[in-house]
């Protein structure tokens, strides 16, 4: 029904009119309140929202997350990655350690990650510090991946210039010939990062645009900011606060 209405608005105009696109968000009775947060720290809440996202059929890739990094000159860039694990310490993703994003992180480990789950009208923003995970963890995950993906990762020096698509296919063929059908694919310059979060915001969209935003923060001396009115004490060293939408 919602999809039909949205498509009808799109068809009304032969030219693109983005200002008229307005998706219906959540109703008043579905607001996201502080008392709905069972454990007042963001990792547990993230896992609960992720569980709901995983149960939402329309969400084909609920672990797709945009990752923003900043280079040595302060220039930001942004791309999607797949979130591969959520531990008590933070959020893990995997990539090439020579890539653009990895070079940014080497100069400046401050990163931001955003996830948007449209059918749930929910966004999660994570800000934190990225660090490489232990190599044995990267190796274990690398060999869990389909062999073709392992070879693909080995064939691609991510973010470097290449002359053509054929060039990539040739490298892939060379690797396959060298390894034979069963040879173990060596770990390329590739592995995981853990983002240790210091700020996590949970956003839920409302139809009247008075969206709910609850932000968790942690850091040295942060609990001194707790006043019980705007800033509230959470668990495990976190504080939380409601932000205007």
Ligand X SMILES: Cc1cc2nc3c(=O)[nH]c(=O)nc-3n(C[C@H](O)[C@H](O)[C@H](O)COP(=O)(O)O)c2cc1C
Judged by the rule CB under 6 A, the positions of this chain that interact with ligand X are: 61, 64, 77, 79-82, 93-96, 99-101, 158-159
C-beta closer to ligand X: residue 44 or 156: 156
C-beta closer to ligand X: residue 188 or 234: 188
C-beta closer to ligand X: residue 193 or 202: 193
Q: Distance of CA 77 to CAs 98, 102, 112, 200, Å?
A: 16, 12, 10, 20
C-beta closer to ligand X: residue 79 or 198: 79
Following DSSP, what letter does each residue of 21-84 receive, concatenated? -----B-GGG---GGG-SSSSHHHHHHHHHHHHHT-TT-S-TTEEEEEEE-TTS-EEEEEEEEE
Catalytic residue, chosen from 38, 161, 165, 209, is: 209
Q: Is 145 a catalytic residue?
A: no
- From the CB of 113, what's the least distance to ligand X, in Å? 11
C-beta closer to ligand X: residue 152 or 207: 152
- From the CB of 103, what's the least distance to ligand X, in Å? 8
Residues serving a catalytic function are: 209
């Amino acid at each position: 029904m919602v999809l039909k209405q949205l498509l009808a608005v799109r068809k009304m105009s032969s030219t693109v009119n983005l200002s008229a696109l307005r998706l219906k968000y959540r109703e008043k009775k579905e607001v996201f309140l502080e008392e709905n947060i069972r454990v007042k720290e963001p990792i547990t809440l993230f896992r609960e929202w992720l569980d709901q996202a995983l149960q939402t059929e329309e969400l084909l890739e609920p672990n797709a997350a945009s990752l923003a990094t900043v280079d040595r000159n302060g220039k930001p860039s942004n791309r999607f990655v797949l979130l591969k694990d959520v531990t008590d310490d933070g959020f893990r993703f995997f990539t090439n350690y020579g890539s653009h994003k990895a070079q940014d992180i080497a100069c400046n480990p401050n990163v931001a990650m955003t996830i948007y789950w449209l059918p749930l009208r929910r966004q999660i923003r994570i800000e934190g510090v990225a660090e490489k995970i232990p190599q044995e963890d990267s190796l274990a995950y690398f060999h869990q991946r389909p062999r073709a993906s392992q070879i693909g990762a080995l064939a691609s020096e991510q973010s470097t210039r290449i002359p053509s698509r054929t060039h990539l296919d040739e490298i892939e063929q060379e690797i396959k010939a060298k390894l034979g059908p069963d040879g173990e694919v060596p770990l390329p310059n590739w592995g995981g990062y853990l983002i240790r979060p210091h700020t996590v915001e949970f956003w839920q969209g409302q139809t009247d645009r008075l969206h709910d935003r609850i932000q968790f923060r942690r850091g040295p001396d942060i609990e001194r900011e707790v006043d019980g009115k705007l800033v509230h004490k959470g668990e495990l060293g976190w504080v939380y606060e409601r932000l205007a939408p």
